[in-house]
Structure 1
């Protein structure tokens, strides 16, 4: 059955991969700043900036079966050199932008609908230089669990916690072959993630066939969070 699915930030990377897959069977709305990569897809684009725009003023469906919030940041800096502006920006794009958007669309979510948010492996596994992004993504995990409890059984809410994924957001960390090899070696599965890896899990969580999953933070991280294979 065709569903209405709203993606916030679906023009690149993981969101774009989701739009490609979901638009084959569902009505997909992509609210993002640009639509450069969406022209060949059967989706409805809604111009939207999660930092500055009010989604309630946009033409979005009255009823939604799926919702995914994709905007995020990767600011990796030593805490001693990090300004408060960096921490505030990370909280704004990752967490407060999400909360504002959810506030707007929560009453549109249908019975049995699903919401998917994104965290990071660094919340559950302490990593140097991740203080700002870990704080913002950790807020998402707590928010998601509480929201899942409050809206059960009507709405399912889950979080995906990836490790490093090869997307435009992480291009600075994977800008040459040496960096890619070094980052790959850190993972038990000896590669960094792809947008397709993460989009697959998000699509799985949106599917009503998987309707007994809620309030979960699911690691899609090449084994980074749970395996130690160093010798």
Structure 2
């Protein structure tokens, strides 16, 4: 398969690229990419990425492991702070789906990324939890309407081992998720036949 990974240089993205590169052709895109730059908070940037990818031939799968949201106490969050997550992680991933058909083969798949906060929020994550929950509902609904038999899923993981040291204080009592287990969620979405599913990997 030919797979486009958006956010392929991040903590999770690197593992996704490493895993799928063993057997498939992988195109790595992201804000720091020289060959395939993209900022998913910018709709024009997404369109330009897909146009460039399509020039090399359509892909079988798109994986998005990009997007950000503001972490802060609710009382300190401004409307502008909320819009960071709405513009980047939520609408950014929505737009990855909206325009993804332009460079996807028939029966291709799109896999988005969220996290445990949608189901088990912790302190200072009001904005991030809201965005994650919105993506879950979006995936379940949009899967019903996708053309060309394109499947759409989302992988929602707990805090992965490689990032546990950074976020441990925010998630007391949450077991770190082995990277190998987290990757299986993406494998299920890309190589399986599930559609409209929130693939939860929380323990």
TM-score, normalised on structure 2?
0.85
Aligned counterpart for 1:193 among listed residues 161, 177, 200: 177
Report the alpha carbon displacement of residue 7 of structure 1 after superposing the two structures with TM.
0.8
Alignment check: 8 A CA contact 1:33 1:49 kept? yes
CA-to-aligned-CA distance 1:73-114 (integer Å, 9 cap, x gap): 354322112122221101111011112232222233222222
Report the alpha carbon displacement of residue 4 of structure 1 after superposing the two structures with TM.
1.5
Structure 2 match to 1:215: 196
Q: Measure, in 1, the Cα distance between the counterparts of 2:157 and 2:69.
A: 12
Structure 2 match to 1:56: 47
User: What is the root-mean-square deviation of aligned Cα atoms in Å?
Assistant: 2.5
Report the alpha carbon displacement of residue 60 of structure 1 after superposing the two structures with TM.
0.3
Structure 1 match to 2:9: 11
Are 1:113 and 2:108 an aligned pair?
Answer: yes
Change (3 A) 1:45 1:16: farther
Matched ranges for 1:142-221 at <5 A: 142-151=137-146, 154-167=149-162, 172-174=166-168, 179=169, 183=171, 186-187=173-174, 191-207=175-191, 210-211=192-193, 213-221=194-202
Alignment check: 8 A CA contact 2:153 2:197 kept? yes
Count of matched residue positions in the alignment of Structure 1 and Structure 2: 198
Q: Measure, in 2, the Cα distance between the counterparts of 1:124 and 1:28.
A: 31
Alignment check: 8 A CA contact 1:156 1:215 kept? yes
Structure 1: gaps (5+ residues): 36-43, 223-231
Q: Measure, in 2, the Cα distance between the counterparts of 1:57 and 1:73.
A: 20
CA-to-aligned-CA distance 1:175-228 (integer Å, 9 cap, x gap): xxxx4xx94x613xxx31244332221122201xx21x1111121011xxxxxx
Structure 2: gaps (5+ residues): none
Change (3 A) 1:115 1:216: same
User: Relative to total residues, which structure has the larger helix share, 1 or 2?
Assistant: 2
Q: Measure, in 2, the Cα distance between the counterparts of 1:14 and 1:205.
A: 15
Report the alpha carbon displacement of residue 153 of structure 1 after superposing the two structures with TM.
7.3
CA-to-aligned-CA distance 1:127-148 (integer Å, 9 cap, x gap): 4432101111112112111111
TM-score, normalised on structure 1?
0.75
SS of the aligned residue for 1:115 comes to: strand
Q: Measure, in 1, the Cα distance between the counterparts of 2:94 and 2:68.
A: 16
Alignment check: 8 A CA contact 1:90 1:136 kept? yes
CA-to-aligned-CA distance 1:29-53 (integer Å, 9 cap, x gap): 1111225xxxxxxxx9412222345
Q: Measure, in 1, the Cα distance between the counterparts of 2:9 and 2:84.
A: 21
